[in-house]
Amino acid sequence: MLKLVRQPRFDVRERPFVVIWEITRACDLACAHCRASAIAARNPAELTLAEGRALIDQVAAFEPPRPLFILTGGDPMKRPDLMELVAYGTQQGLAVALSPSATPLLTPEAIVALRSMGLKAISLSLDAATPERHDAFRGVSGVFERTLKVWDTARECGLKVQINTTVTRFTVEDLPAIARMARERQVLLWSVFFLVNVGRGERLEPITAPQCEDVMNFLCDAGAAIAVKTTEAPHFRRLVIERALLARRGLDVASLSPGDLYGRLKTGLGPWPSSPRLRRAPADVNAGSGFIFISHTGAVHPSGFFPLTVGSVRTRPLAEIYRRSPLLRALRDPQALGGRCGRCEFRLVCGGSRSRAFALSADPVGEDPLCAYEPGSFPLAEEVAEALAAESVSI
């Protein structure tokens, strides 16, 4: 059977697929969902340039294929040594990507200079389809227009561009228009982030679990024309498998009884290619399992949305923390999962958002409340078992 989920080609218990370093928490925007509750001034306790180089050496020391190395913030442009960090990471053999804020610091000249230092990719945030709505979400006017300009410059100088969109009740109806923009502007990847209520995001209203199913069904449809992945919603992988198995029986999304929101989002997409075969779901990584986050002060977290610390790169090697942390090991163990996630037949390719489970229940292995799935309710149980066997996983 064809594999339906992309799997890393190595053991994610030994090395991460993605390493994200928050090089500063300083930022001039005031985004409503900011995980970091960023402020304008830099923290004097940030990792220094020398410590950053030492961290890069550690990331580069993982066996090939080396992790994707993402520099984030705050706003990474607030660090005057950003160019040096990008150049050093590139020299050490890492694919370096940047997740900047669209502030006046992000000039076309800076983007071209970053590219010349070896930067491979850039991710830009687009949470709404109009300047008014996006700028209201970001807390500063002019961000929408600047984002589009940066997008153009990045494409022109050969950077891969990923667009990040945060789904909340405020932004959800904008998704079709953002999908159309992403297609028109030939985005490399659309990363749709499902809110975790941490930082300033604690004040935002998330969508409900049934609405999340509607959004993910919509994203399945959008995926016929653009590459789509979800962040903090690994149950998208469950839905991709469900949709693929239904399609093999000649059935479509109607069998999943989607709600009104799906109908509105689908209609908003307008004319759109339909794929004879669904794209494979994004890679099977989750907080602490293929994915690791280092804060501006060197604290290591399972993800940027998971406040528990599992060590510090100032005092212990990253590889040792990653491989041996009891919390990370628990997060990687599907048998440790509780609630519906613990009973779910899809848990080996999903496992739910560990960050959200912790944010809402203080239980890192509890169920993900943004998933509406009742374990065992998908009718094609034999096909599910066969599909999961093809993923080289067993229950």
Q: What are the residues binding ligand SF4 (CB under 6 A)? A: 235, 238, 340-341, 344, 346-347, 350-352, 367-368, 371, 373, 375
Q: Which is nearer to ligand SF4, 106 or 371 (CB)?
A: 371
CA-wise closest residue to 109 among 74, 77, 76, 141:
77
- Is the Cβ of residue 85 or residue 371 nearer to ligand SF4 in the bound state? 371
Closest to ligand SF4 by CB, 36 vs 233, is 233
197, 206 Cβ separation under 8 angstroms: yes
Which of residues 35 and 347 has its CB atom nearest to ligand SF4 in the complex? Answer: 347
Contacts of 263 (CB under 8 A, 6+ apart): none
Question: In the complex, what is the shortest distance from the CB of residue 249 to ligand SF4, in angstroms, rounded to a whole number?
Answer: 20
Min dist. Cβ of residue 341 to ligand SF4 (A): 3
Smallest distance, Å, CB 388 to ligand SF4? 12
Give the amino acid at 199.
G
Q: How far is the CB of 108 from ligand SF4 (least distance, A)?
A: 42
Q: How far is the CB of 102 from ligand SF4 (least distance, A)?
A: 32
Minimum Å distance from CB 376 to ligand SF4?
10
> Whole-number minimum distance, CB 220 to ligand SF4, in Å?
15
Q: Which of residues 229 and 235 has its CB atom nearest to ligand SF4 in the complex?
A: 235
For residues 128 and 90, give the distance between their C-alpha atoms in angstroms, rounded to a whole number: 33
Q: How many CB atoms lie within 10 A of CB 122?
A: 24
Q: 180 vs 347, which CB is nearer to ligand SF4?
A: 347
Q: CA-CA distance, 386 to 66, in Å (whole number)?
A: 31
> Residue 339 Cβ, how far from ligand SF4 at the closest point, in Å?
8
Nearer to ligand SF4 (CB atom), residue 180 or residue 354: 354
Least distance between ligand SF4 and beta carbon 91 (Å): 40
Q: In the structure encoding, which two tokens stand for residue 107, read together?
A: 């000039």
- Give all strands (DSSP E) within 23-153, no chain letters: 68-72, 96-98, 121-125
The torsion angles phi and psi of 328, rounded to 5 degrees, stand at -65, -40
CB atoms near residue 285 (< 10 Å) = 18
Query: String of b and e for 192-217 (b: at least 16 CB within 10 Å)?
Result: bbbbbbbbbbeebebbeeebbbbbbb
The tokens describing 153, both together, are 């410059």
Smaller CB separation from ligand SF4, 293 or 346? 346
Spatial separation of the C-alpha atoms in residues 331 and 351, rounded to whole Å: 9
In Å, how far are 70, 82, 94, 114, 275 from 120, measured between CA atoms?
10, 14, 10, 9, 29
Cβ 106 to ligand SF4 shortest distance, Å: 35
Instruction: Tokens for 44, please give them.
Output: 């004097």
Residues 28 and 40 sit within 8 Å (Cβ to Cβ): yes
Measured from the CB atom, is 178 or 350 closer to ligand SF4? Answer: 350
Distances (CA, A) of 147 to 40, 106, 108, 176: 20, 9, 11, 18
- By beta-carbon proximity to ligand SF4, the closer residue of 193 and 373 is 373
φ, ψ dihedrals at 68, nearest 5°: -70, 130
Backbone angles phi, psi at 273, to 5 degrees: -60, 145
**Shortest approach of ligand SF4 to residue 235 CB, angstroms?**
4
Cβ neighbours for 202, distance < 8 A, ≥ 6 positions apart: none
Alpha-carbon span 286 to 241, nearest angstrom: 18
Cβ nearer to ligand SF4, comparing 52 with 351? 351
